[in-house]
Amino acid sequence: MPNARVLPDWSMRFEFGRYDIYGYYGVALGLWDRLEFHGQFTSVNTLKPFGNQGYGIYKDRSAGFRLILVKENEFWPQVAVGAYDATGTALFASRYLVGSKMFGNLDLTIGAGQGILAGEFVGGSTNAVYGNAKNTGHTFLFSSLTRKTRPFAGLEYHLTPDLTLSAEYSTIDYGRMFGFLDSHGKTRLKKDDSRIPLNLGVKYKLCKNFNIQLACMRGNEVGVGLNVAFPLDPEGMLGWIKRPEYRSTERLRWDAYKADNDKLASLICKALYDDGFGHVKIQASRNALWVESDAGQYLSQARALGRIFSIVDQLAPKRITIFYFNMVDMGYVMSSLKTTRENMKAYMESRMDRSDFLEVGDLTLFADKHRKEFEQGRDVGSARKSEEPWYSFTVRPKIRTFLENKKGFFKNKVIIQPRAAIHPWTGGLVAGELEFTLYNQYKDVDYSPMEKDAARTDIVQYERKSSPRITEMAFDQLFKLPGNIQARGAVGIFESPYAGFGAECFRYFCDGRLGAGLETEWVRKRSIDNNFKLRKGMNEWFHTGFVNIYANVWPSQGLELGLTLGRFLAGDMGYRVEVRRSFKYFTIGAWYTKTDTSIFDSPKNRGTDQKGVFISIPLAVFKDHETPGSFEYDITSFLRDPGQTVSQPRFLYPMNPWSTPDDLKRNLDEMR
């Protein structure tokens, strides 16, 4: 039975459990201390939907949410509404209104539920296993509120901070639940002889984030479960070791004191580069210093800027009274700060607050305005740039999973991907990636292309192969157009099925809170068996054309919206909406694509939409120090051809919310 409690903001829980004929494993995410999203797979061990073809017992996927309407206080209980199985088959669909109130160590819950919480079997029958369900979670979620309703209740007593006893009055009629009925929804496949609608349980916290549960269900069955809950925090499991403060040598300070503008620029450029910063560019005049740099090992622009100032302040002679700090992302200046040396010191020493510092300084998007000021009327020396590594090489393992094929619930392909990147000049990238297969179950997958010239549903034909495969060999060039428009162009092999051309431009507005751009790709299908040939019999060019729009609608909480309008890979016109939260250097989001599917021949493609979820985890979670980079994982579908796109070596959209002046302004205190 549900209660009115939700996970704390930006926390995640993984859970697993077994009870009677059911097993489940899922994940939940808490947002803003008021909202929780959850999703899970439920297995039913009485049903085999595809006989002995390899799929095994039936698995159902579902998702839901819980929203707090009233927060608990001294007088009022916490009140929440929620729904379960709100999308999909509705085999376990429910919705409810519930209230919970703490009385000392006792947490009391009372609620009213519909769907399975009212003993109602919403999903129709076991015919849902074979794709014949008449109801869906969506239709149930928005159905009449007057449908069958039952009250439920529960309580938890916290004996200690780690040990909790629980009891609940259950309104679920397990004898009519999915899995207890045959394909006609009548005959019980497994007898439910319970007459006690009461569940008793105990919960124990083994350690900070790990909990186990044991329950006696309805007086005749035992249920077990475990969950792991943790906050999403980039400092992660190990904790970051504080970096030692920068201390220049007396000799270096003396050399900087005697240096002319060119020599001073060289000394500071080398000091920043040696400290771990990249894309460094330094120029000096008689009283000002121009500094460009990326964030180095830091996730935060502000922390990087604090470190840069510490180095520059120790080396720059007293004649330098004005600083222009420029933070670089994707090779171009995004945030430009003009400040005096005295004001910067006053702020760093907490003698000036953030609002006063921003009032007397000037923090802008792009650097054009400050560049003109720096060059005007000054004896400006030549620029000194850091020598960036011209190549990089990584090797990464990867697992690709085909989910819910009738030949097996999980079919996996384990690969190793060596990847090399060469940077021949500013903005240039030559990227190459090979794929070596270690283990491949895709050859067992029963899945065929849905169209003669399929945009995506022929992917299994490529994945069945285990021979070494070039999955990327492309050249990509970044450049800047008038009006601070960023642009890029690419040519080559973009992914296993596609090779061709790509181009994109993008412009930021309002300190980086808004952005808009254009994007297109023109690609041909590659041969399945030959790395360097195009596919015979498929002479069609697949091409896309999009308008991309970005908005950071709630900057302090990292809530972002994205909209893509235009032509998708198969020629279907439509839109893609993306909602994501980029917070504490994690990004979690979901997207939904709707297009005109009348151009497709397959009835399975017609009328379908596409959706997916994704997460980006900073690599610093797994290290004892701050470091750039992220691990990305997404769950999307290649089972349909509408709404598809093609990969590129780099993308300008969606933008990085942590590289903008808006982010720097809000987190300026981290400089200290």
Confidence of residue 187 (pLDDT cuts 50, 70, 90): low
Q: What is the DSSP letter of 245?
A: P
- Residue 46's pLDDT is 83
Domain end marker among 350, 370, 387: 387
Shared domain check, 361 and 314: yes
Q: For residues 497 and 409, what is the distance between their CA atoms, to the nearest angstrom?
A: 25
Specify whether the CB–CB gap between 373 and 391 falls below 8 A: no
Specify whether the CB–CB gap between 174 and 92 falls below 8 A: no
Shared domain check, 78 and 164: yes
Choose between 101 and 183: higher pLDDT: 101
The tokens for 442 are: 């895709």
Please indicate, yes or no, if residue 243 is contained in any of the structural domains.
no
Confidence of residue 195 (pLDDT cuts 50, 70, 90): low
Between helix 250-258 and helix 261-274 the angle, nearest 10°, is 150
Specify whether the CB–CB gap between 310 and 244 falls below 8 A: no
Confidence of residue 133 (pLDDT cuts 50, 70, 90): very low
Mean pLDDT of the chain: 90
Q: What is the DSSP letter of 534?
A: B
The tokens for 577 are: 């909406």
Specify whether the CB–CB gap between 82 and 66 falls below 8 A: yes
Q: For residues 217 and 234, what is the distance between their CA atoms, to the nearest angstrom?
A: 39
Shared domain check, 559 and 571: yes
**Domain that includes residue 199, residue range:** 11-230
DSSP of 182-225 = -TTS-SBSS-------EEEEEEEE-SSSEEEEEEEETTTEEEEE
Question: Which of 91-95, 115-119, 518-522 is modeled with the greatest confidence?
Answer: 518-522
The tokens for 627 are: 């470091």
Strand, coil or helix: 577: strand
The tokens for 52 are: 């002995």
Q: What's the domain count of the chain?
A: 3
Shared domain check, 155 and 85: yes
Is residue 262 over pLDDT 90? yes
Choose between 660 and 186: higher pLDDT: 660
Across the range 478-484, mean pLDDT stands at: 93
Is residue 135 over pLDDT 60? no
- Residue 127's pLDDT is 44
Specify whether the CB–CB gap between 506 and 659 falls below 8 A: no
Across the range 647-659, mean pLDDT stands at: 90
- Residue 189's pLDDT is 58
Shared domain check, 324 and 195: no
How far is the CA of 304 from the CAs of 161, 181, 243, 327, in angstroms? Answer: 40, 62, 12, 9
* pLDDT tens sequence across 525-557: 999 999 999 998 777 899 999 999 999 999 999
Please indicate, yes or no, if residue 423 is contained in any of the structural domains.
yes
Beta carbons within 8 Å of 8's beta carbon, 6+ residues apart: 30, 33, 231
Confidence of residue 48 (pLDDT cuts 50, 70, 90): confident
Is residue 587 over pLDDT 60? yes
* pLDDT tens sequence across 563-582: 999 999 999 999 999 999 99
Please indicate, yes or no, if residue 5 is contained in any of the structural domains.
no
Q: For residues 367 and 346, what is the distance between their CA atoms, to the nearest angstrom?
A: 24
- β-strand pairing of 78-84 with 94-103: antiparallel
Shared domain check, 372 and 396: no
Shared domain check, 447 and 310: no
Please indicate, yes or no, if residue 237 is contained in any of the structural domains.
no
- Residue 128's pLDDT is 46
Which residue is listed with tokens 């740099």?
A: 293
- Residue 159's pLDDT is 94
Q: For residues 94 and 459, what is the distance between their CA atoms, to the nearest angstrom?
A: 36
Specify whether the CB–CB gap between 541 and 499 falls below 8 A: no
Q: Which of 177-181, 261-265, 407-411, 477-481 has the lowest mean pLDDT?
A: 177-181
Instruction: Classify the phi-psi angles of 179: left when phi > 0, otherwise alpha if psi is within -120 to 50, otherwise beta.
Output: left
On the 0-12 / 13-18 / 19+ scale of CB atoms within 10 A, 20 is buried
Please indicate, yes or no, if residue 16 is contained in any of the structural domains.
yes
* pLDDT tens sequence across 412-435: 999 999 999 999 998 999 999 999
- Residue 588's pLDDT is 94
Give the residue among 312, 288, 302 at the shortest CA–CA distance from 358: 302
Strand ranges inside 441-572, DSSP E: 469-481, 485-493, 498-509, 514-525, 542-554, 559-567
Please indicate, yes or no, if residue 669 is contained in any of the structural domains.
no
- Residue 538's pLDDT is 75
- Residue 90's pLDDT is 82
Is residue 25 over pLDDT 50? yes
Shared domain check, 604 and 535: yes
CA 49 to chain centre: 33
- Residue 186's pLDDT is 57
Specify whether the CB–CB gap between 611 and 595 falls below 8 A: no
Is residue 162 over pLDDT 80? yes
Choose between 482 and 183: higher pLDDT: 482
Shared domain check, 270 and 157: no
Using a pLDDT cut of 70, give the percent of the chain over it. 95
On the 0-12 / 13-18 / 19+ scale of CB atoms within 10 A, 611 is middle
Q: For residues 630 and 617, what is the distance between their CA atoms, to the nearest angstrom?
A: 5
- Residue 185's pLDDT is 52
- Residue 129's pLDDT is 46
* pLDDT tens sequence across 493-515: 999 999 999 999 999 999 999 99
Report the greatest alpha carbon distance in the chain. Answer: 94
Domain end marker among 161, 195, 230: 230
Beta carbons within 8 Å of 350's beta carbon, 6+ residues apart: 672
Across the range 118-123, mean pLDDT stands at: 77
Shared domain check, 297 and 201: no
Tell me the CB-side half-sphere exposure of residue 410, using CA atoms within 13 A: 7
Q: Which of 21-35, 52-66, 313-327, 408-422 has the lowest mean pLDDT?
A: 52-66
Please indicate, yes or no, if residue 236 is contained in any of the structural domains.
no
Q: For residues 467 and 497, what is the distance between their CA atoms, to the nearest angstrom?
A: 15
Alpha helices in 396-526 (DSSP H): 459-463
- Residue 70's pLDDT is 95
Is residue 236 over pLDDT 80? no
CA 145 to chain centre: 35
Specify whether the CB–CB gap between 46 and 38 falls below 8 A: no
Shared domain check, 483 and 599: yes
Give the residue among 420, 419, 426, 261 at the shortest CA–CA distance from 328: 426
Across the range 451-462, mean pLDDT stands at: 92
- Residue 125's pLDDT is 47
Between helix 301-315 and helix 250-258 the angle, nearest 10°, is 70
Is residue 394 over pLDDT 70? yes
Q: For residues 323 and 317, what is the distance between their CA atoms, to the nearest angstrom?
A: 12
Give the residue among 500, 502, 570, 568 at the shortest CA–CA distance from 535: 500
The tokens for 255 are: 């050399």
Across the range 445-473, mean pLDDT stands at: 93
Across the range 123-143, mean pLDDT stands at: 58
Q: For residues 469 and 26, what is the distance between their CA atoms, to the nearest angstrom?
A: 34
The count of other CB atoms within 10 Å of the CB of residue 375 is: 13
- Residue 348's pLDDT is 95
Q: For residues 45 and 59, what is the distance between their CA atoms, to the nearest angstrom?
A: 9
Judge if the upstream peptide bond of residue 654 is cis by omega within 30 degrees of 0.
yes
Tell me the CB-side half-sphere exposure of residue 123, using CA atoms within 13 A: 31
User: Residue 164 maps to which CATH number?
Assistant: 2.40.160.40
- Residue 131's pLDDT is 43
Q: CA 348, 352, 355, 357 torsion: positive or negative?
A: negative
Domain end marker among 387, 408, 440: 387
Shared domain check, 288 and 146: no
- Residue 661's pLDDT is 94
* pLDDT tens sequence across 73-105: 989 999 999 999 877 778 888 999 999 999 999
Question: Which of 86-100, 108-122, 588-602 is modeled with the greatest confidence?
Answer: 588-602
Find residue 395's DSSP bridge partners: 418
Q: Which of 217-231, 481-495, 502-516 has the lowest mean pLDDT?
A: 217-231
